[in-house]
Amino acid sequence: MRRGGSKSPIVFVAVIVSVSCFFVLILTILRLPDISNGSMTPFKLKKISKHPATSDRIGKFGVMMMEMLPQDLSFTTFVPSEFAFERDLRLRINDSLAGEKANDTYATLTRILSFTVVPWKIPSESISYNEEIICDSLSGFKLHVSKDGDKMLLVNGVRSSRVDLRKGEMVIHVMDGVIMEAEFGQSVRFDDGEGDEGSIYLRTVAAAAARVLCSIAHWSVVTPNHQDSSVIMGWDSIISSEKWELIFSDLGLFGSDTNYWKGYTLLINTWKRYDLLKQSISHYTSCPGLDSIHIVWSEPEPPSDPLVKFLNHAAKSNAKDGRYIELTFDINKEDSLNNRFKEITNPITDAVFSIDDDIIFPCSSVEFAFSVWRSAPDTMVGFVPRIHLINQSKENRYPYIYGGWWAVWWTGTYSMILSKASFFHMKYLRMYTNEMPASLLEYVKRNRNCEDIAMSFLVANATGAPPIWAKGKIFEIGSTGISSLGGHSNKRTECVNRFVSEFGRMTLVPTNVKAVDSRGTWFW
């Protein structure tokens, strides 16, 4: 070991940066307004009658939240009390539901719903005293649930006032505060007029500076000898301006206009289910990678002005970091399943996230699938796999059989990713519209089925490669569709064989690969 040598300049820089980071963080904490989440509210257990209506117990805003969810779902909801809505979100029954404020209120409630709904039942008796469970809400927000000595639940520090209310299959716990992301809570408070622009600007700059300085300090500490580490790790001794721009972009200091950021377009197909459309748009607009929304509309009447206004408001209010989310309607005079894959003129992204309006994926699952797609942008990446099977029976006249989920589960093999939840390249919309055989398009239109299988054939024909199944959580928020009708599997088998004839060969490529985020997996 060398002794008496000169002091390393990197250690000196690390000390200076760490001290600066500490002071910036202190400044940020001192200047930030406290965001009330109800955890510090004095609590007194209120006496309630034995059989009051559930709507009386959860309040008007709570009822509105519950009406957004189907009653037959085994979900748990941590609903804020009426007092909590007023204290933490400035929502008041008399004025928040009147006139122009009604849309704002509905959008806020939808956002709160994504933070507070868990897709399984959590009755209070299932949690022991001082036990804590951790679960994900619909938006992927982490909820830490425990029970205190009075048998009341604590969720992220917010205490319940009533537990185990029932509405249909749902379990409802009334909370003394609003459970939400800190960023959303701050935006609500600032929108309400509290805090001036100077404090908001200081908060943003200070928080950003703190993140940069802490990151630099971390790098300085973990790489005590810069020259040696640069040789070993392949780093340059001087970080170029382009690399700093990439670092700052990753830290969230640059907006969506930077060349290093490229998101995806949400392609959503809907038909006379406006509540589901509102829920879906309100949810996905909170996902960080979303840049554009394209709604396929094939109804006889155009979308109403209130609906368009609500969706635009949701896109504007839920977008993070001041990003702009483009929202457009593709209004079709003719009702055809082929409308789903019509070419989009002047697209702003290469990636398309095709989704049905009756299923919701947490943003974490969507962003993971998007990252997988970026590693293989010519193929389809999604959450719903299916398979084609070679018919071994001589009794069936078809050489191939369409296999549903159970066939995938049993064999561990798939060859299709359904477009009801998948990423693919924007170019395939152009190819579907302009290069797909006219007889095949007419077949899809006439049978009102199998447009998703046709897209799988198209992509596989272009790439000669299999799709990629990405692991993700799925929540169904609508009623069953055509897949629940009798004879559905037989019709899909007919489609597979018809498409083989149209393409002149079986283009689908089977695979056993599944993409899993190893950060949340114990065994992989």
Q: Which of 107, 106, 109, 103 is nearest to 88 (CA)?
A: 109
In the annotation, is 452 catalytic? yes
Residue 355 and residue 378: Cα distance in Å, rounded? Answer: 18
Of residues 88, 196, 452, 517, which has the active-site annotation? Answer: 452
Q: Which of 237, 260, 233 is nearest to 248 (CA)?
A: 260
Residues 6+ apart with CB under 8 A from 76: 117, 118, 120, 121, 122, 170, 171, 172, 173
- The DSSP code for 6 is P
Please answer whether residues 384 and 422 qualify as being in contact, where contact means their C-beta atoms are separated by less than 8 angstroms.
yes
Beta bridge partners of 468: 381
Residue 460 and residue 464: Cα distance in Å, rounded? Answer: 5
Please calculate the CA angle 400-406-410 and round it to the nearest 5 degrees: 90
Residue 515 and residue 372: Cα distance in Å, rounded? Answer: 7
- The DSSP code for 511 is B
The 3 state secondary structure assigned to 452-477 is HHHHHHHHHHHHCCCCEEECCCCEEC
Give the active site residues: 452
